[in-house]
């Protein structure tokens, strides 16, 4: 693994490995957090529009360039990042890079395609509004980050998308799709010098630029516990409990990852064993630790029968108190760390998993975090580290509970 830099400042991570394929990703430090209330959802809409044609490729030709060779092609937008990537047989490295660079540099955003795709994204938003777990998570995140764009939906809203015009997207691309703000990652079977040459030629039109202005602050969390409840036409009650945490550069991040796995990742986790296996209160329950650059959140979610919701929440809260009050045993800590290390190593047998890990760590830290460093960080966590993180994260005064409950209407309340 090595990182090289073009004359215009674009960083290129090259990670050759044993494979019969090559994955190429373009990662941009631009997401919903970089937007304003007026432009909410524009990053995600741009992601869609880059597939809609360039001066030399129609939308169908863009798709056929990858699928016609048996490859996979996609993109994703989050709070702080947008990524476009291909996964192709290894002989198509040059074609992959050329296609992604063409989309990045030359997207035309035609008026007819724009109007049509904006309608598609609005339907996507409506789809999420019909999914109780998505609604519970969106309300939870808004409550955890009430004064920050981190609390806003990545896709925006119908109200924010309707007024947008193609020229708004072009201005946003010009301000954010910059070499200083972008990394290209290549993983798989390839020659590093050849790959760097291909990337250099394809992205040569980019001019060196100043870094864009940083995203707005994460803001303060609510000063007291909060509860958000929404009524929907569903049969289960969707429960999401969340807490604000620290950012990805915090030295406690590995302890936080171990804490999260111990509590809610996999069937051996405490919450799964307590809520499902011993009490039968939910079919599935899981936790998730998500880091942003300067903040984060830890979330526990479950779907339960309405008459079991109170018992499930009480059981979850008891597990919260137990991890705060008692030291983790050596055996449980060892199992949890080996679960994480093994899971990470197995996932890195896939070139696309390597691609995303390297791309995100390069954007987050300005360097690539090697697999060995990640595993070593996990294995170095102690029982005292886990308890310290549990006490820092599970602050009863900062707890947010988000519910989607059965009911025919769209009523919503916050207390």
Alpha carbons 170 and 312: distance in angstroms, whole number: 48
CA 42 to chain centre: 17
Structure tokens at 396: 């009863």
Please, how many CA atoms are within 13 Å of residue 236, restricted to the half-sphere of its CB? 16
- What lies within 8 Å, CB to CB, of 2 at 6+ separation is 13, 14, 192
Query: Given 2, 18, 20, 47, which residue is catalytic?
Result: 47
Structure tokens at 87: 């996964």
Alpha carbons 129 and 133: distance in angstroms, whole number: 9
Residue 41 Rama label (left phi>0; alpha psi -120 to 50; beta): left
Alpha carbons 255 and 366: distance in angstroms, whole number: 22
What are the residue ranges of helices labelled H in 213-292? 253-264, 270-271
Alpha carbons 82 and 94: distance in angstroms, whole number: 22
Active-site residue flag, 321: no
Q: What is the CA radius of gyration of the chain?
A: 22
Residues annotated as catalytic are 47
């Amino acid at each position: 693994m090595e990182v090289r830099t073009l004359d215009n400042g674009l960083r290129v991570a090259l990670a050759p490995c044993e494979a019969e394929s090559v994955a190429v990703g373009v990662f941009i430090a631009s997401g919903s957090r970089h937007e304003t209330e007026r432009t909410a959802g524009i990053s995600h809409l741009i992601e869609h529009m880059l597939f809609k044609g360039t001066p030399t490729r129609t939308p169908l030709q863009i798709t056929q360039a990858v699928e016609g060779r048996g490859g996979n092609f996609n993109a994703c937008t989050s709070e702080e990042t947008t990524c476009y990537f291909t996964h192709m047989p290894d002989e198509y490295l040059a074609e992959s890079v050329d296609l992604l660079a063409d989309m990045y540099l030359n997207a035309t955003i035609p008026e007819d395609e724009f109007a049509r795709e904006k309608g598609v994204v609005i339907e996507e938003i409506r789809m999420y509004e019909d999914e109780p777990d998505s609604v519970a998570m969106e309300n939870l995140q808004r409550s955890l980050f009430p004064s920050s764009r981190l609390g806003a939906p990545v896709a925006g809203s119908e109200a924010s998308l309707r007024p947008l015009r193609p020229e708004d997207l072009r201005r946003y691309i010009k301000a954010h799709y910059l070499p200083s703000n972008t990394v290209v990652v290549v993983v798989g079977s390839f020659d590093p010098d050849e790959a760097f040459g291909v990337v250099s030629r394809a992205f040569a039109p980019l001019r060196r630029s100043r870094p864009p202005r940083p995203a707005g602050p994460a803001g303060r969390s609510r000063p007291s516990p909060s509860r958000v409840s929404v009524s929907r036409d569903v049969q289960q009650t969707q429960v999401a409990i969340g807490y604000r945490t620290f950012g990805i550069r915090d030295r406690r991040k590995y302890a936080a990852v171990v804490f999260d796995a111990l509590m809610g990742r996999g069937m051996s986790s405490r919450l799964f064993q307590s809520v499902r296996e011993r009490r039968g209160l939910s079919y599935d329950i899981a936790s998730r630790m998500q880091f942003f650059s300067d903040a984060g959140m830890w979330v526990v979610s479950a779907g339960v029968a309405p008459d079991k919701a109170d018992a499930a929440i009480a059981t979850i809260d008891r597990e919260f108190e137990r991890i705060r009050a008692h030291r983790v045993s050596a055996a449980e800590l060892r199992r949890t760390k080996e679960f994480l290390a093994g899971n990470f190593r197995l996932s890195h047998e896939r070139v696309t998993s390597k691609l995303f890990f390297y791309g995100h760590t390069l954007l987050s830290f300005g360097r690539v975090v090697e697999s060995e460093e990640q595993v070593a960080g996990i294995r170095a966590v102690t029982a005292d580290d886990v308890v310290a993180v549990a006490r820092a994260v599970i602050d009863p005064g900062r707890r947010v509970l988000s519910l989607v409950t059965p009911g025919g209407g769209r009523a919503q309340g916050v207390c």
